[in-house]
Amino acid sequence: MSTTLLWYTTRGAGAVSMVLLSGVVVLGILSALRVQTAGWPRFLTTGLHRNLALMTLVFLALHIVTAVIDPFTHLGWLTAVVPFSSYYRTIWLGLGTIAFELLLAIVVTSLIRGFIGHVAWRLVHWLAYASWPIAIIHGIGTGTDTQSAWSIVLTIACVGSVAAAVGYRVLRGSSDPLASARSEFRAGIARRPEQ
């Protein structure tokens, strides 16, 4: 494979990963908020969320492998694993490594959700709100395509849709219909001093 082709693949797979990951985040939020219409059942949201997440990993693998084996950058495999170990664009590549590892933790815990239990799984899943912005900053900071129009449009679209979904979630509050009644009841029976 020629160096140029590798380089284009790295950038292309990176851009696709950004789009997919943003889609995964948006779908995750829609699923937590129980968004549903007659033609769009809830299992479609969660199923798509899951499958797009797995697909994101495939494109990220492509993105990382092509970047590492590209002889021009001499990144080495360590860069893919240890954050900030690259001499080349140290900060920005380091962020990419962190975002990838967070995502890996999220996917792996999801695959073994039945074993680790719902509470632990959910705690790890909140890391999505760290992984996604770090990935976006990595993309912007690394900067090969930052100036090009297609990249700007894509990034704005991704950031915009995730921001809208997050904003919607914050405004809606908990989607568990029992949440407020439950905490009210618990507050009413708060522990009294024992004698």
Partner 1 sequence: MSNLRLLAGPDLSSGAEAFADHNSRLGASPVGGRELIDTLTRSGMTGRGGASFPVGHKWQSVAASKRSAVVIANGAEGEPQSRKDRLLMTTRPHLVLDGAFLAARTLRAKQVVIYVGDQHQAAWAAMARALAERPEPERSLARMAAAPHRYVAGESSAAVHLVDSGVATPITTPPHPRDRGVAGAPTLVQNVETLAHVALIARYGDAWFRSAGRRGAIGTLLVTLAGAVKRPGVVEVEAGTTIEEALAIAGGISEPSTAVLLGGYFGAWVKASNASELPLDAAALHAQGLSLGCGVVGVHPASRCGVCDTARIMRYLATESSAQCGPCFFGLRALSDACSRVAERGTNREDIARLKRWSVEVQGRGACKHPDGAVIFLRSALNTFSDEFAAHPAHWRQQPA
Partner 2 sequence: MSELHLTIDRIKCDGRGLCAELLPELIHLDDWGYPIIAPVPIPNQLAPHAQRAVASCPVLALALKRTIRSK
- Give me 8's structure tokens: 């284009």
User: Does residue 146 sit in helix, strand or coil?
Assistant: coil
- Decide which of partner 2, partner 1, none touches 195; Cβ closer than 5 to 8 Å per partner kind: partner 1
- Which member of 10, 17, 22, 31 binds partner 2 (CB under 8 A)? 31
192 binds partner 1 (CB under 8 A): yes
177 binds partner 2 (CB under 8 A): yes
Contact between 64 and 80 under an 8 Å Cβ cutoff? The reply is yes
CA 162 – CA 165 distance, rounded (Å) = 5
175 binds partner 1 (CB under 8 A): no
47 binds partner 2 (CB under 8 A): yes
Contact between 3 and 70 under an 8 Å Cβ cutoff? The reply is yes
- Decide which of partner 1, partner 2, none touches 34; Cβ closer than 5 to 8 Å per partner kind: partner 2
- Which member of 37, 39, 71, 114 binds partner 2 (CB under 8 A)? 114
- Which member of 34, 42, 74, 182 binds partner 1 (CB under 8 A)? 182
184 binds partner 1 (CB under 8 A): yes
CA 99 – CA 186 distance, rounded (Å) = 38
- Give me 140's structure tokens: 């912007």
- Give how far the C-alpha of residue 4 lies from the chain's centroid of Cα atoms, to the nearest Å: 28
- Which member of 3, 4, 41, 153 binds partner 2 (CB under 8 A)? 41
- Decide which of partner 1, partner 2, none touches 167; Cβ closer than 5 to 8 Å per partner kind: none
Contact between 33 and 169 under an 8 Å Cβ cutoff? The reply is yes
